[in-house]
């Protein structure tokens, strides 16, 4: 039996406790500074208020100020914060992370600066003290995994990515159950780029829901699946370009981390809801304030995080803007409040 700390008591971090406890491990679920109400509810009822599921008996809730206590004799840390919380998590872990310790990220996203784009495992690494940056053993989970389905023990298939094949097999053995299926990959960059971009392109697919409402139903009652499918395909096309430019492997784009995760994210959730509002004609700022003030919309947050760096990289010739027309259109829509305009004539350019 392993002692596992999950930092972040949101729906995905909490749902991740199900396969772990089903395998006999003990989970210490540590809420962030924003998760106080969740931790209190779990203490009182054992039911996660957003997941709507009773957490397994092997889960012990902790408030963030007890992270040091939770880390005592731990074997693994799982990072379940949202993309905006990675630097906060790095600061918290800096105080308690032992040498040569494994950290598994559920958090998805990218960050950028004048040097280029970074996957979140590297952002976490850079946030640790210099003495810990090289010996921390980072891995990440990617693939189509809706938290509620995982908590209901529905069949779920994911990829566990990292640099050390032996470590990946050890971690996979902790996770695999009859319903939680795990493959391993040493392409950490490819997997992380795929699962980050899926949020942005799911936001783009979600535009169709709003465009359909705005235009009105056709006389024969049909929807706009043709439009959604084309946007979906372009999203994968652009993901493949960026994966290769960042040093990843194209194969992950067309398996679970890319096509699989984009498909499941397009089925609903916060990105789809926000996409609908954008398609209806609201600006991102209006829709966020009016309809989703408490929600983190990961696709929009990604557009904001990488928008300026992508523009700079294109201007310097380090990225081919012609290969990323949908990404750049979504950045303009989210960051600049631009009206929705699908750049059809620029789709499926091969790039440099």
Active site residues: 198
Contact 186, 216 (CB under 8 A): no
* Spatial separation of the C-alpha atoms in residues 65 and 60, rounded to whole Å: 15
Three-class secondary structure of residue 66 per DSSP: helix
Contact 40, 10 (CB under 8 A): no
* Spatial separation of the C-alpha atoms in residues 325 and 344, rounded to whole Å: 9
Question: With b meaning 16 or more CB within 10 Å and e meaning fewer, what string describes 289-318?
Answer: eeebeeeebbbbbbbebbbebbbbbbeeee
* Spatial separation of the C-alpha atoms in residues 213 and 276, rounded to whole Å: 9
Q: How many residues does the chain have?
A: 352
User: Which contiguous run of DSSP H or E holds residue 142?
Assistant: strand 137-142
Contact 202, 275 (CB under 8 A): yes
Structure tokens belonging to residue 146: 């809706």
Contact 206, 288 (CB under 8 A): no
What is the edge-to-edge ordering of all strands in the sheet holding 180-185?
Answer: 59-62, 26-30, 3-7, 76-79, 102-105, 137-142, 156-162, 180-185
Question: Residue 28 pairs with which residues in a beta bridge?
Answer: 5, 60
Contact 254, 236 (CB under 8 A): yes
């Amino acid at each position: 039996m392993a002692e596992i700390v999950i930092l972040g008591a949101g729906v995905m971090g909490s749902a991740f406790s199900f396969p772990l406890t089903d395998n006999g491990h003990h989970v210490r679920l540590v809420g962030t500074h924003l998760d106080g109400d969740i931790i209190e509810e779990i203490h009182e009822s054992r039911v996660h208020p957003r997941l709507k599921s009773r957490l397994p008996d092997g889960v012990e809730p902790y408030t963030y100020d007890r992270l040091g206590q939770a880390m005592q004799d731990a074997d693994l840390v799982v990072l379940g914060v949202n993309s905006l919380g990675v630097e906060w998590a790095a600061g918290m872990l800096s105080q308690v992370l032992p040498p040569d310790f494994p950290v598994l990220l559920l958090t998805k996203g990218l960050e950028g600066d004048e040097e280029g784009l970074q996957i979140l495992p590297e952002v976490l690494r850079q946030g640790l003290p210099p003495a810990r940056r090289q010996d921390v053993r980072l891995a990440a989970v990617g693939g189509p995994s809706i938290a509620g389905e995982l908590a209901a023990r529905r069949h779920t298939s994911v990829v566990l990515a990292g640099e050390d094949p032996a470590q990946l097999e050890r971690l996979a053995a902790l996770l695999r159950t009859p319903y939680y299926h795990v493959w391993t990959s040493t392409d950490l960059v490819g997997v992380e780029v795929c699962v980050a971009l899926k949020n942005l392109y799911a936001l783009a697919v979600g535009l169709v829901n709003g465009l359909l409402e705005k235009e009105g139903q056709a006389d024969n009652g049909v929807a706009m699946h043709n439009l959604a499918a084309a946007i979906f395909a372009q999203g994968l096309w652009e993901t493949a370009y960026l994966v290769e430019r960042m040093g990843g492997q194209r194969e992950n784009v067309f398996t679970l981390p890319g096509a699989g995760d984009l498909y499941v994210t397009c089925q609903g959730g916060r990105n789809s809801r926000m996409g609908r509002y954008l398609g209806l004609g609201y600006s991102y700022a209006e829709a966020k304030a009016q309809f989703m003030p408490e929600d983190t919309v990961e696709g929009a947050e990604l557009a904001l995080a990488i928008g300026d760096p992508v523009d700079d990289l294109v201007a310097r010739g380090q990225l081919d803007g012609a290969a990323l027309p949908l990404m750049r259109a979504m950045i303009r829509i989210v960051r600049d409040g631009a009206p929705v305009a699908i750049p059809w004539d620029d789709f499926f350019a091969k790039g440099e």
